[in-house]
Amino acid sequence: MSKGHGVGQVQSPGNGDSSVRLRVLSYNVHGQRDDVDALAEVVRSLEPDVVIVQEAPRRFRWRHKCAALADRLGLVVAAGGLPALGNLLLTSLRVQVYRTWCQQYPLTPGRHLRGGVFAECGIGTSRFVLAGSHLSTDPTERPGQAALFKQELAALRLPVVVGADLNENSGGGAWRTVADGLTDAAVVADAAERFTFSCVYPHNRIDALFVDPRIGVLDYDVVDTPQTRRASDHFPIRADLLLPAAL
């Protein structure tokens, strides 16, 4: 069991019995440079329906490497990899994927390429969009990248679930841009003091999970275990959500 706490939370108004539960994991896997067996153990034990991955394979033989990562975690690739510059969406077979697209932010010479990934998904009668991004460590780049990511999110009609490594703490300008109009799952669950980075010296909450206000947050945790401390330099975020019925 993780050392964090989960908190029951209100359901979206009018969901009724047709609402659907969704377990989401948002996880910066550090390019699989740590203990990959521990990484697989962590993800499989949490039994997510979807995983929003940062620092996934994005270079030579990236398709094969993304598929191998998904298989190791007991999931399938929905979207991402090189076209999303290391952002990746993985799903269980419970989730249907209807369409996917990727986003690349303008390159600043000498900096890393960054991007976003999106997938329109469904479980039963519920439809939603899964989205992920990993913003720059450079504070001069982040605001523009956040604005481009938010522009894509704002154009969506369906409820959105967003997992991102924002590379800044809550309250920063880029964080506020992405969070605008969305629910911060950690805040709703009274867990905003839980740090996500680094596993060696936890002192920052730079990883976020945001959801559309139409989505209920049933439970939230920053998963801190011996396995997660070996698996990556970031702790994974796990949340149980309640999706609204078909809109």
Per-residue pLDDT of the chain (247 residues; tens, 9 = 90+): 344 334 434 434 444 457 899 999 999 999 999 999 999 999 999 999 999 999 999 999 999 999 999 999 999 999 999 999 999 999 999 999 999 999 999 988 878 899 999 999 999 999 999 999 999 999 999 999 999 999 999 999 999 999 999 999 998 999 999 999 999 999 999 999 999 999 999 999 999 999 999 999 999 999 999 999 999 999 999 999 999 987 6
Residue 14 CA: distances (Å) to CA of 8, 68, 189, 216, 239? 18, 41, 21, 11, 21
Closest CA to 89 of 138, 133, 122, 149: 133
Closest CA to 153 of 106, 108, 101, 192: 101
What is the structure's pLDDT at 7? 42
Structure tokens at 149: 């990511």
| Terminal Cα distance for the chain, rounded | 36
What class has domain 21-235?
alpha beta
